[in-house]
């Protein structure tokens, strides 16, 4: 790039870059292809699982018909490997014609007709991470316009094959370009991952002005090790990350892998619980055509979802790491409520953990707690009452806690939930 072009670009981004289109006041919910379906482009031998319009149409149908949409799961997000290797004669990105014969606008219609929204993937750089055409500084505008013309509602903008200067210019430029289309689109930035995820390399308050969400850390894989590593990194760095989140600006620890092959039932609950505490996007990457009922119940748990989607949008924190390898997480919620998660990092047997709300810095008062995964309620205990909770290895107990008088309020989360829970108590919660 010549000095003139650089000056022009700097002038452009110094204009207002705020992406304040009112979207994502709560973390996005939906489904994304990547973790489960990767870059499978072999539609000849693997037609069910390859990255093609059929996969996204099938998934949209499942989201609409199997109760997901009603719970808030609304974005169907295409990841890498959707593109043709060449741009069209006007320089526009185009989908692979054999795998997306109807084109993206057609797919968007299928998705919109079902009350859902479409997300797409592009990469700030010469190539996407899997080697498809990238979006360089000179094609940002045309790509934003192409996406808008197709009816796209969400862009995941990856950062392979670019340097930090191109990223510093490109991410805000794309924000502006999306705004300029006039079509409200959610904007997910992978920028932080490519510069280490932490200040001073990442300016989180600036990022919050230009992106709705951002990937901070490495890709999730289908294993408990991976989930645990992500939880650990986000908690170790919570002083930098937690204040960055709020309505319209979210940290993204990556997709939910519940329903795949790598997690036990307890570990799946742990991912759901921690993603709710972290105010993380609830974007599943699984096969909604083949999902067992246990995974479905975890992903469709109304109280876990309500905690994740709390309108105050305050990200939670790890409060304690005990020597006995129990960790306590906490998130403040609307209506003087809060969520507590007790996570066991042990590998032996269920551990009987003793604590009290007072030990967790709660004020004096009488409380009730709803156990999110067992469906049982504990009534009328004080901050100083000793609590004993049995936590399975690599599992959680998750509580929705509220002052006692609130249980009488119609419409409270507790009341809404009571009509829906169907799980049998599995944790012995003894007071
Ligand atoms: C990067 C991203 C992933 C996925 C792949 C696609 O690794 O972090 O989420 O989009 O690229 O190639």
List the pLDDT tens digit at each of the 431 positions of the chain: 444 455 454 444 444 455 678 999 999 999 999 999 999 999 999 999 999 999 999 999 999 999 999 999 999 999 999 999 999 999 999 999 999 999 999 999 999 999 999 999 999 999 999 999 999 999 999 999 999 999 999 999 999 999 999 999 999 999 999 999 999 999 999 999 999 999 999 999 999 999 999 999 999 999 999 999 999 999 999 999 999 999 999 999 999 999 999 999 999 999 999 999 999 999 999 999 999 999 999 999 999 999 999 999 999 999 999 999 999 999 999 999 999 999 999 999 999 999 999 999 999 999 999 999 999 999 999 999 999 999 999 999 999 999 997 545 444 554 443 333 333 334 434 44
pLDDT value for 5: 53
Pocket mutation for ligand 1, best pick of 32, 133, 190 (most atoms within 8 Å of C-beta): 190
pLDDT value for 19: 67
Compute the distance from residue 135 Cα to the ligand 1 centre, in Å: 15
CA distances 326 to 232, 275, 276, 277, 417, Å, are 13, 18, 18, 16, 27
Q: 37 in ligand 1 pocket by Cβ < 6 Å?
A: no
Q: 310 in ligand 1 pocket by Cβ < 6 Å?
A: no
Q: Give the C-alpha separation, 7 to 430, whole Å.
A: 66
pLDDT value for 406: 54
Compute the distance from residue 111 Cα to the ligand 1 centre, in Å: 23
Residue nearest ligand 1's atom 4 by CA = 34
User: Taking a C-beta distance cutoff of 8 angstroms, is the pair 173, 137 a contact?
Assistant: yes
pLDDT value for 18: 54
Q: Which of 80, 123, 158, 252 is catalytic?
A: 158
219 belongs to the catalytic site = yes
Compute the distance from residue 370 Cα to the ligand 1 centre, in Å: 37
> Left (φ > 0), alpha (ψ -120 to 50) or beta: where does 217 sit?
beta
For 337-379, what is each residue's pLDDT tens digit? Answer: 999 999 999 999 999 999 999 999 999 999 999 999 999 999 9
Q: Give the C-alpha separation, 102 to 105, whole Å.
A: 8
pLDDT value for 427: 41
Q: Give the C-alpha separation, 62 to 68, whole Å.
A: 8
């Amino acid at each position: 790039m010549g000095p003139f072009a650089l000056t022009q670009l700097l002038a452009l981004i110094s204009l207002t870059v705020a992406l304040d289109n009112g979207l994502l006041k709560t973390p996005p919910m939906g489904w994304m292809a990547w973790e489960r379906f990767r870059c499978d482009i072999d539609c000849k031998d693997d037609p069910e699982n390859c990255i093609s319009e059929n996969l996204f149409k099938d998934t949209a149908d499942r989201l609409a018909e199997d109760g997901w949409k009603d719970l808030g799961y609304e974005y169907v997000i295409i990841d890498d490997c959707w593109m043709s290797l060449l741009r069209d004669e006007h320089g526009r990105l185009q989908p692979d014609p054999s795998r997306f014969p109807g084109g993206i606008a057609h797919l968007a219609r299928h998705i919109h007709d079902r009350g859902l929204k479409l997300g797409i993937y592009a990469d700030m750089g010469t190539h996407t991470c899997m080697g498809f055409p990238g979006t360089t500084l000179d094609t940002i505008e045309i790509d934003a316009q192409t996406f808008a013309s197709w009816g796209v509602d969400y862009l995941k903008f990856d950062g392979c094959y670019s340097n930090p200067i191109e990223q510093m210019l490109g991410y805000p430029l794309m924000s502006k370009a999306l705004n300029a289309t006039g079509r409200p689109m959610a904007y997910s930035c992978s920028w932080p991952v490519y510069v280490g995820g932490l200040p001073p390399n990442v300016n989180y308050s600036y990022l919050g002005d230009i992106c709705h969400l951002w990937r901070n850390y490495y890709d999730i894989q289908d294993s408990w090790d991976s989930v645990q590593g992500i939880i650990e990194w986000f908690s170790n760095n919570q002083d930098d990350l937690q204040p960055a989140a709020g309505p319209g600006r979210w940290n993204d620890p990556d997709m939910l892998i519940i329903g795949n092959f790598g997690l036990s039932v307890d570990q799946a609950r742990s991912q759901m619980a921690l993603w709710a505490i972290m105010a993380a996007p609830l974007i599943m990457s699984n096969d909604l055509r083949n999902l067992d009922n246990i995974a479905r119940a975890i992903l469709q748990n109304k109280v876990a979802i309500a905690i994740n989607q709390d309108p105050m949008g305050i990200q939670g924190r790890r409060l304690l790491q005990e020597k006995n390898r129990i960790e306590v997480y906490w998130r403040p919620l609307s209506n003087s409520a809060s969520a507590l998660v007790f996570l066991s990092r042990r590998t032996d047997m269920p551990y009987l953990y003793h604590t009290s709300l007072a030990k967790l810095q709660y004020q004096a008062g009488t409380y009730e707690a709803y156990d999110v995964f067992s469906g049982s309620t504990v009534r009328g205990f004080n901050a100083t009452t000793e609590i004993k909770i049995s936590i399975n290895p690599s599992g959680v107990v998750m509580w929705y806690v509220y002052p006692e008088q609130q249980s009488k309020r119609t419409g409270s989360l507790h009341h809404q939930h009571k009509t829906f829970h169907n799980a049998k108590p599995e944790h012995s919660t003894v007071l």
